[in-house]
Amino acid sequence: MALTDTEIRRSKPGEKPYKISDSGGLHLMITPTGGKLWRWKYRFDGAEKLMALIDHCMEVRKAE
């Protein structure tokens, strides 16, 4: 089941980091400080790998 924007915005930090699963190995890690980080767990040559993709709240600023 895919995560919705509402579920992501309503997630609150806890004492320990926790993850909310999306699909295909993709999950959102919620840190105790309130950070929201997308992570992707996958396998390559039989070894499990974890890739950090992007901070959910990161602002993209346009050059003027």
pLDDT by residue for the chain (64 residues), tens only, comes to 688 888 888 889 999 999 998 888 889 999 999 888 889 999 999 999 988 887 655 544 444 4
Characterize the bridge pairing of strands 47-55 and 26-30: unpaired
Amino acid in the structure at residue 54: I
Q: Which domains does the chain have, with CATH numbers?
A: 5-55 (3.30.160.390)
Structure tokens at 33: 């400080």
